[in-house]
Amino acid sequence: MQKIKIAEKQFEIFLENETINKRIRLIGVQLNLAYEDKCPLFIGILNGSFLFMADLIKEITIPCEVAFMRVASYDGASSSGQVKELIGLPPNISGRDIIVIEDIVDTGLTLTHILKTIKALKPASVKVASLLLKPSALKYQIEDLEYVGFEIPNEFVVGYGLDYNGLGRNLIDIYSATEG
Ligand code: 5GP
């Protein structure tokens, strides 16, 4: 079992790059079919989605546009304790077919907020493609989560765009934290 250490934390290999890429190719096929006569706007949520977006978009053969935005979280007086602000929302959302590209859905809070904001701008349709989903951590049901790469256990993962304390985004495989 391949193990690595990032900032004194132990991780072991969980999903190899080849497995990730095979799955992404299949999602690409599905998207090319589903959006055959359309010109969707892919919106990647930074930072975590940049490698997933890069590999997925290479599989897309229909006309499309690509944009990125980020979510800034800060403590504030809201029911969840955190206020999320969307930065860099693309200007041309109205009337478009939007595909939101996420790295991982954990509780679903981030995505719920993103979808609410995007839908207020009156797109023609909105779907989400997330590379990873932790079903047992989900607290907010997300109907628009149409494309999921892998359902994973409720463990902390790193690599392929995902970080641990800012490190590990460059790893081509995905690793999960080991006990202790
Ligand atoms: P949610 O709002 O769904 O609870 O959290 C989503 C965000 O939390 C993701 O976009 C990601 O930034 C972060 N996150 C959740 N689980 C993990 C994980 O296992 N590893 C890493 N690196 N980030 C995670």
**How many angstroms separate the alpha carbon of residue 133 from the centre of ligand 1?**
9
Q: Answer yes or no: is the C-beta of 60 below 6 A from any ligand 1 atom.
A: no
Backbone conformation region of residue 123, classed left if phi is above 0, alpha if psi is from -120 to 50, else beta: beta
Test site for ligand 1: of 11, 15, 80, 104, most ligand atoms within 8 A of the Cβ: 104
Q: Kindly tell me the sign of the dihedral angle through the C-alpha atoms of 96, 102, 106, 110.
A: negative
Listed in order, strand segments (DSSP E) in the chain are 3-6, 9-15, 41-46, 65-75, 82-87, 97-105, 125-133, 145-151, 157-158, 174-177
**Ligand 1 pocket, residue 157 CB under 6 Å:** yes
In this structure, are strands 82-87 and 65-75 parallel, antiparallel, or unpaired? antiparallel
CA torsion through residues 28, 33, 106, 70, sign: positive
Q: Give the Å distance between the CA of 36 and the centre of ligand 1.
A: 31
Rounded Cα distance, 118 and 104, in Å: 18
pTM: 0.95
Report the separation in Å between the CA atom of 26 and the middle of ligand 1, taken as the mean of its atom positions. 23
| pLDDT (0 to 100) of residue 78 | 46
CB 28 within 8 A of CB 55: no
Q: Which atom of ligand 1 is nearest to the CA of 106?
A: 3
Check if 162 has its Cβ closer than 6 Å to any atom of ligand 1.
Answer: yes
Query: Digits of tens for pLDDT over the chain (180 positions)?
Result: 789 999 999 999 999 999 999 999 999 999 999 999 999 999 999 999 999 999 999 999 999 999 999 998 766 544 455 667 899 999 999 999 999 999 999 999 999 999 999 999 999 999 999 999 999 999 999 999 999 999 999 999 999 999 999 999 999 999 999 975
